[in-house]
Amino acid sequence: MSRPMQYDREEALGKAMLIFWQKGYHATSLKDLEKGLNMKPGSIYCAFSSKENLYLLALDLYVRRSVARFQAHMEQASSPLTGLAEHLRGFAREGIDDGARQVCMLTKTLVDVTSTAPDIAAQAKIHLMQIRQAFADAFASAKAAGELPVDADCMHLARRFQGAVTALRFELHLDTDQTDIAALAEDLAREVEAMRLSPPGTQLPLCAKHLAPSIRKE
């Protein structure tokens, strides 16, 4: 009897993630997975139990990688708010083949399966909250660093920031002109920078005065 083909689980999940992200849960066939993972149907089911479970594992990998990249970026930033602003600007620098030029896999999942695969949709919502929490943690770091008021609502700011990221990725998905994407990213980044508290005695820019009330808890 021949021995089963060896495979790297993380590598296989990475390939499955890209296939599912590109085609969606329902449109991805077993043939697509066989070809993309270079695995026989029996091996796929033996390793991952079912197509649904493989999709859930792929979603989990997508989130882990996304959060890890964001946190690594923030660790290298000169300050939390600068890191958040530069994260937005970074979308204007994505290459034509970069995965970030697609709509977020979690957003795409909710559109694809909310009415047909509620368990997957529920998990996608949990993952979206995990990413939002990573953003909230970054705003909390900005508060601790004195860049934001002590009463700033970090989760509210994270919700707005997540919306900005979603908007940028949607424009990339639409192949919007790069100049327009760069202009939008710059506008959104400057809104984040305008939240920064000025040193005592410094006149706040007009845009910062306008935004300041919205970053505080009710």
8 pLDDT band, cuts 50/70/90, is: confident
- Domain membership flag for residue 8: no
Residue 14 lies in a domain: no
Domain-embedded: residue 3: no
User: 70 lies in which domain range?
Assistant: 61-215
Longest dimension (CA), the chain: 80
The per-residue pLDDT for 99 is 63
pTM, entire model: 0.86
Number of domains in the chain: 1
Q: What is the CATH number of the domain that holds 92?
A: 1.10.357.10
For residue 47, being part of any structural domain is answered with no
Q: Is residue 22 part of a domain?
A: no
pLDDT of res. 150: 96
pLDDT tens across 115-141, in order? Answer: 999 999 999 999 999 999 999 999 999
- Average pLDDT over the chain reads 89
Q: What is the DSSP string of 27-54?
A: T--HHHHHHHHT--HHHHHHHHSSHHHH
Q: Does some domain include residue 9?
A: no
